[in-house]
Structure 1
């Protein structure tokens, strides 16, 4: 079955969707969209370093993403405006990554594949990395769900219940780094944030509980993977961007439906 590249693409997309969508709910609730964008941009620097030192792309990207997370955490609250700091780090990491890639001699690198993804080129060993990383993120979210939710809703209440909000923030940062590392092959660095935010945003207008929002976001993301790959096959369009377009249409539908139900 895995000899069929379309089946591999669907499985890869599902593995990413099931991890990114529930994590994206916390990104939406905490208004961390720009942080996710900065981490995704840093992935290109991780790709360049991986090729330079001949290590796994997954290891290099996750390492750079973790460095980005720890840097942001250490600089926050020290007189830096968060949006300004993230803008500097995001675009600096992307620029350094592109410049470093240009110095790679004797190594063929397809920057478009890393920027926008190449899900149809996923190999069987890539599926193991994607599903392994995605499973780790899902397990981490299930394990820390209550603490993460409490720290997100009310940091003071979290302290009262013995939960350290900064520790839970670091858990989210680690989970985000893992998702970025597994998503670089599927949708690319420039579209990772879309797969984090749009499914969660699409589920928000028509759900009433955090758990339902996370489950519905995962369902929307999986449906977008299947629908996007099918649409890309029919219309001969880039697969990664088509998947994002599909989930964007779902967002438009749910927002319209949510407004209609609110009026009723």
Structure 2
């Protein structure tokens, strides 16, 4: 039985042109998301904004509902809602509201309103599981262009603003002394997060986007000596997770989006074990 989220073992795995094209699109989509999300995740980790990324991703459900209701592209609806929520939280956080409280209120309210709004959309067959956990195997050529277009924008934005983002992350006071506006850099980071959420919803779904932001970045930390090295290693881990997770879903007949995240988690566990082993050997040497 085919669910739209996996390839069943009854599928004949012969190298037909249709199957090749089908898998190439899925692999390229996963690779695009992995390469864009992981370096951005390093900034999220350094700023301790893990819940911020998670909340922005959860709000994407409301964007899906609005896209279906107004007959516009999912990418546009999700981008508008994710960006609006992120900017609203950033604005209110400095006006007497605790950041974690705002994120909790906004994220859960958005996902609740989104699920309610979806129930009112008539005449459209909605596969909520695909939006919650991704449907990378259903990626079309247009989806692929959108994913890589968004990923390219995120990577260009990060390269362009990297030094300013890094300085504002390490010390807002130092950033101001250097002529960098920390609030502007936070807005740049917010825009990049919204873009990643919008392009990743098709690949891993709203519930697992935060995992692709955080896990490769966390796994890269033990192997990096500089911020740039950590971002590059995280991008490699993100790409490997995407491609390896897709292959694992073919072998074991498992949902593709969760398989991608599971492989990323295994990479993180392996990296943590190597780091602990290295620290233990270093302590013994002393």
TM-score by length of 2: 0.91
CA displacement at 1:227 relative to structure 2: 1.0
Aligned residue number for residue 154 of structure 1:
171
Aligned residue number for residue 33 of structure 2:
16
For 2:202, which of 175, 185, 189 is the aligned residue?
Answer: 185
Question: Is the aligned partner of 1:229 residue 2:246?
Answer: yes
Query: Matches of 1:207 and 1:258 in 2, distance apart?
Result: 11
For 2:91, which of 74, 79, 91 is the aligned residue?
Answer: 74
| Secondary structure at the counterpart of residue 137 of structure 1 | helix
Query: Matches of 2:110 and 2:130 in 1, distance apart?
Result: 18
For 1:124, which of 141, 156, 160 is the aligned residue?
Answer: 141
Query: Matches of 2:70 and 2:144 in 1, distance apart?
Result: 23
Higher mean C-alpha displacement, 2-11 vs 206-215: 2-11
For 1:214, which of 231, 235, 250 is the aligned residue?
Answer: 231
| Secondary structure at the counterpart of residue 122 of structure 2 | coil
Aligned residue number for residue 11 of structure 2:
none
Aligned residue number for residue 125 of structure 2:
108
Question: Is the aligned partner of 1:203 residue 2:187?
Answer: no
Aligned residue number for residue 163 of structure 1:
180
CA displacement at 1:53 relative to structure 2: 0.5
Question: Is the aligned partner of 1:89 residue 2:106?
Answer: yes
**Structure 1: which 5+ runs fail to align?**
none
Aligned residue number for residue 75 of structure 2:
58
Query: Matches of 2:233 and 2:136 in 1, distance apart?
Result: 23
- The number of equivalent residue pairs is 264
CA displacement at 1:109 relative to structure 2: 0.8
Aligned residue number for residue 31 of structure 1:
48
| Secondary structure at the counterpart of residue 241 of structure 2 | helix
Query: Matches of 1:57 and 1:78 in 2, distance apart?
Result: 32
TM-score by length of 1: 0.98
**Structure 2: which 5+ runs fail to align?**
1-16
CA displacement at 1:160 relative to structure 2: 0.4
CA displacement at 1:139 relative to structure 2: 0.1
CA displacement at 1:78 relative to structure 2: 1.3
Query: Matches of 2:257 and 2:220 in 1, distance apart?
Result: 21
Query: Matches of 1:225 and 1:180 in 2, distance apart?
Result: 16
CA displacement at 1:74 relative to structure 2: 1.2
Aligned residue number for residue 246 of structure 1:
263
